[in-house]
Amino acid sequence: MDNKRTTTKIQELTYELKIKEVMSKNVETVGSKMPVSHLRDILYNKRISGIPIVNDNNLVGLISIEDFIKCLEHNEMDALVEDKMTKNVKTLYADEPLVHAVMKFEKYGFGRFPVISRKDKKLVGIITKSDIIKGVLKKLETAYHDEEERRYRASHIFNDVIADEIFFKFQYYVEGKNFDKAGEAATGLKKTLYRLGLSPEIVRRAAISTYEAEINIVAFTKGGRITAYLEPHQIRIVITDKGPGIPDIEKALQPGFSTAPGWVRELGFGAGMGLPNIKKFADKMTLKSTVEKGTRLVIIIKLSDYRNED
Amino acid sequence: MKIMEIKEILEAEVLTGEYDPETEIEIGCSSDLMSEILAFGKPGAILLTSLTNIQVINTANVSDIKVVCFVMGKIPDENIINLARKNDVIVFITKLTTFESCGRLYKNGLKSCSYFNLDK
Ligand SMILES: Nc1ncnc2c1ncn2[C@@H]1O[C@H](COP(=O)(O)OP(=O)(O)O)[C@@H](O)[C@H]1O
Ligand SMILES: [Mg+2]
């Protein structure tokens, strides 16, 4: 049902990769004035299934192993290559996306296509189905390694930086009333902490509580900022805004209490559970507010797995 | 339960492209209130909702929810799909109602998040 919309990673790669990135560049070629017998050693020793015929780097034809066997059958080993080769050779340009090669293999059923340069039409390589598979697999592997490496390198900052204690500070600015951008700070912080090698459970608790606080800035205030400090034993997230402040903090902390307007509720928030949620996921939470001035919320998440210790 | 089984049970369509059909989803949750999902949603879960805005994807992202299924035939905007793709959240859509979707998954053995509480 969803085939049309589903492009798999591999399909995506066949659009991204160029033919020149996966083709074989060391091509065995033979001149057109050679006898067919000359091909035997090449076909046999190199275990290849077809040889481009080239004069001065210009592709003039192709002899496949099938063509060669036919000559053997008919005792034509002394014939000239140019009389036995396929002359109207289907080729590909080096700068075409790999998917064009995939389509040509499907269309013609050949085992290989010579690759020529678009500029001067000279032979630059040859491509087989196994080149395509190898190329795609290699690309998949490097994509995977890149992500792993990024994570690895980031977590090594702690070993590479020399100091008695290391602190990181990440600053995010949050616009009031702009729901399209709400969540960018929390999701940005989440990715950052994850790349620094923190455990998924810690990262998740920091992300959820920051997200609820960010939603509150957007829903209730003129704007504010979120500063996360990664300290040796904890993550400290300080969320401040420019008002209007909370008149009754005790009430605001009660599950279900909300002054959220309709537009906030329509977006899936405003059930009076933000602050209780933050309390649930934080190891410590402090909320201070001055009416008209603004609100300051501090969330602490301990890095050691304190819950198993006590 | 494998993600491909869920897709079949929900008669769902995938909007985000590439995904591993063998991925195991063990738990399901459903609400149109994102704070509820943030409170009781579990990592690796599927979220069923009839709310369609980008905060659903942000909620899934911060909660480590793998799959979001928009029910009742609601079709999310392109920017929602793009954000989901960027954050490796898989998006399904189904014409089934919320109750029917949850009921079918539960009947087929998908676990729920059971109780809601705000304790640690
Ligand atoms: N930064 C803030 N500035 C002003 N008021 C706030 C702020 N954060 C929370 N509040 C008040 O506290 C109430 C409860 O907040 P919360 O628990 O997040 O629930 P909800 O956001 O669903 O209303 C809000 O309805 C609002 O009145
Ligand atoms: Mg709130």
- B24 found inside a domain: yes
CATH number of A3-135: 3.10.580.10
Q: Write out pLDDT tens, residues B34-78.
A: 999 999 999 999 999 999 999 999 999 999 999 999 999 999 999
Closest partner CB to A255 (pick from B34, B59, B118):
B118
**Domain assignments of chain A as residue spans, ordered by start:** 3-135, 168-309
How far, in Å, CA of B45 to CA of B27, rounded?
5
Domain A168-309 classified CATH 3.30.565.10? yes
Tell me the chain A residues in contact with residue B18 when contact means C-beta distances shorter than 8 Å: 6-9, 12
How far, in Å, CA of B33 to CA of B46, rounded?
15
For residue A65, the model assigns a pLDDT of: 87
Domain range spanning residue B32? 3-115
- Tell me if A220 CB under 6 Å of ligand 1: yes
Q: Which amino acid is at A13?
A: L
- B103 found inside a domain: yes
Q: Which amino acid is at B44?
A: G
Q: Kindly report the CATH number assigned to the domain that includes residue B98.
A: 3.40.1390.20
- Most A CBs within 10 Å: which of B14, B35, B56, as the mutation test of the A interface? B35
Q: Which amino acid is at B7?
A: K
Band of pLDDT at residue B80, cut at 50, 70 and 90: very high
Band of pLDDT at residue B107, cut at 50, 70 and 90: very high
For residue A41, the model assigns a pLDDT of: 85
- B74 found inside a domain: yes
Burial A124-159 (b: 16+ CB within 10 A, else e): bbbbbeebbeebbeebeeeeeeeeeeeeeeeeeeee
- B120 found inside a domain: no
How many domains is chain B partitioned into structurally?
1
- CB A191 within 8 Å of CB A200: no
What sign does the CA torsion over A221, A268, A186, B115 have? positive
Pocket perturbation via mutation, ligand 1, pick of A174, A177, A220, A288 by most ligand atoms within 8 A of CB:
A220
Written as tens digits, the pLDDT of chain A (310 aa) is 444 434 567 777 888 899 999 999 888 899 999 999 989 888 888 778 789 999 988 999 999 888 899 999 999 989 999 999 999 999 999 999 999 999 999 999 888 899 999 998 999 999 999 999 999 888 888 777 766 666 666 667 777 778 888 889 999 999 999 999 999 999 999 999 998 888 899 999 999 999 999 999 999 999 999 999 998 889 999 999 998 999 999 999 999 999 999 999 999 999 999 999 999 999 999 999 999 999 999 999 998 743 333 3
- Collapsing DSSP to helix, strand or coil, A88 comes out as coil
Tell me the chain B residues in contact with residue A187 when contact means C-beta distances shorter than 8 Å: 58, 61-62, 87
How far, in Å, CA of A213 to CA of A240, rounded?
9
ipTM of this complex prediction, to 2 decimal places: 0.96
Strand partners, A235: A230, A301
For residue A137, the model assigns a pLDDT of: 87
- A 10 A CB-CB count for B56 gives 27
Name the residues around ion ligand 2, CB cutoff 5 A: A 216, 274
How far, in Å, CA of A24 to CA of A3, rounded?
32
Burial of A68 (0-12, 13-18, 19+ CB in 10 A): buried
For residue A149, the model assigns a pLDDT of: 66
